[in-house]
Amino acid sequence: MKLQRMNRRALALGALAVSGALALTACGSDDTGDTSNAGNGSATSGAGAGDVKCDDAKGQLQASGSSAQKNAIDAWVKSYTAACKSVQINYRPDGSGAGITAFNQGQTAFAGSDSALKPEEVEASKKVCSGGQGINLPMVGGPIAVGFNVPGVDTLVLDASTLAKIFDSKISNWNDDAIKKLNPDAKLPDLKIQAFHRSDESGTTDNFTKYLKAAAPADWKYEPAKAWAAKGGQSAPQSSGVAQQVKQTSGAISYFELSYAKDGIKTVDVKTAGGPVKASVENATAAIGAAEVVGTGKDLALKLNYTPTAANAYPIVLVTYEIACDKGNKADTLPAAKSFLGYIASEDGQKQLTEAGYAPIPQEIITKVRENIATLS
């Protein structure tokens, strides 16, 4: 099923990073892991909280997983807990792999993952979802930016083949002929490339390597996975970790969700069949809009197109799923889980994504997400 292209006007961004008004705390990096919040007020208080339905939600809600969506989670938690005073939400952004593991061990009410559950992970979920199983609920879209730090270079164009060779240590210097050919007007220095990848299992890594495998199969011989498989390079944990390395390391390059491309981090324009394309929410939307639903029943897993041909379609994209039990949720956390997930899938919740540098899920799909959340039991 083809997704409808999202309203372009709704994707207008005031900034690529989370604004101060949306940030949960001034020091909320994804290495701290605690995005808890609580208070006392009405269900309509708080910015963007008009769609909050607290119902019987109360207590602590534990969740973990994708660090790519952390900035969105921060904004959502702030608005939600301003309305639902009896709920405290603790989301630890320790990576998609860790999130799914914790969920399947019964430690969390839901998990965030930038990759859909694998068959063996669905099977494992049946042990904690009594009478049911884990399902994929697409909630956050956006581009995976490739950030770089090359002194004297403000604009950089790279294609899939060159990116594959850089991240597989086949191209090791910024004045390599392949990079020069793509950037004839740039003053590329004689500087060693410092390629950083995620040290933790990450859905961002999974999607980034799916792009490399799909767009440059001759140059990327590794199977896509949450764990980094290529040789060489350096590593850092979570999206904030690799972004920080790019910011502070001369010659660095890495990949992370666009909302982490802040504080002066420059991003690569990725060359596709339609020409160089900038990493932006709007350009990623053009690619996400060509995704197909491949999940069955209440599962809404998507198949993304990493080699789009449409003009201005940014090819390196991800969709973050919230993983939840369709049946067999714990009675003490079910009301809060349904209430919070219902809010972030709501119109108000999805509107916050554009302000935080993410792409809302297309209307056709988010409508199904809302319907499925309402039936969680």
If asked whether residues 329 and 222 sit together in one domain, one would say no
DSSP class of residue 22 equals T
Same-domain check for residues 148 and 279: yes
Do 229 and 277 fall into the same domain? yes
Q: Is the pTM of this model over 0.85?
A: no
Tell me how far apart the alpha carbons of residues 171 and 158 are, in angstroms, rounded to a whole number: 12
Say which residues have a Cβ less than 8 Å from residue 330's Cβ, sequence separation at least 6: 109
Domain assignment of residue 237, yes or no: yes
Distance between CA atoms of residues 251 and 216, nearest Å: 23
Domain termination residue (choose one: 263, 284, 305): 284
Domain boundary among 258, 284, 310: 284
Residue 3 inside a domain? The answer is: no
Tell me whether residue 309 is in a domain. Answer: no
Residues 263 and 370 in one domain: no
Domain extent for 163: 144-284
Clarify whether residues 277 and 165 are in a common domain. Answer: yes
What residues does 270 pair with on adjacent strands? 158, 277
Look at residue 30 and tell me if it is in a domain.
yes
- Tens place of pLDDT for every residue, the chain, 377 residues? 443 333 333 333 333 333 333 333 222 333 333 333 433 333 433 445 568 999 999 999 999 999 999 999 999 999 999 999 999 999 999 999 999 999 999 999 999 999 999 999 999 999 999 999 999 999 999 899 999 999 999 999 999 999 999 999 999 999 999 999 999 999 999 999 999 999 999 999 999 999 999 999 999 999 999 999 998 999 999 999 999 999 999 999 999 999 899 888 999 999 999 899 999 998 988 888 788 899 999 999 999 989 988 878 999 999 999 999 999 999 999 999 999 999 999 999 999 998 888 988 988 899 999 999 999 99
The answer to whether residues 134 and 153 belong to one domain is no
d(CA 143, CA 345): 19
Specify whether 106 is located in the same domain as 46: yes
Same domain flag for 156 and 105: no
- Are 225 and 341 contained in the same domain? no
3-state secondary structure of 199: coil
238 and 212 share one domain: yes
Distance CA 294, CA 118 (A): 12
Q: Same domain, yes or no, for 65 and 184?
A: no
Tell me, yes or no, whether 208 and 235 share the same domain.
yes
Q: Is residue 292 part of a domain?
A: no
Do the domain assignments include residue 108? yes
Q: Residue 219 has which token pair?
A: 């140059």
Domain presence at residue 310? no
> Is 128 contained in some domain?
yes
Q: Left, alpha or beta for 270 (phi > 0: left; psi -120 to 50: alpha)?
A: beta
Q: How far apart are CA 143 and CA 256, in angstroms?
A: 9
Pairing between β-strand 269-272 and β-strand 234-236 as defined by DSSP bridges:
unpaired
Q: How many domains does the chain have?
A: 2
Q: How far apart are CA 223 and CA 235, in angstroms?
A: 19
CATH number at 189 reads 3.40.190.10
CA separation for the pair 8, 11 (Å, rounded): 5
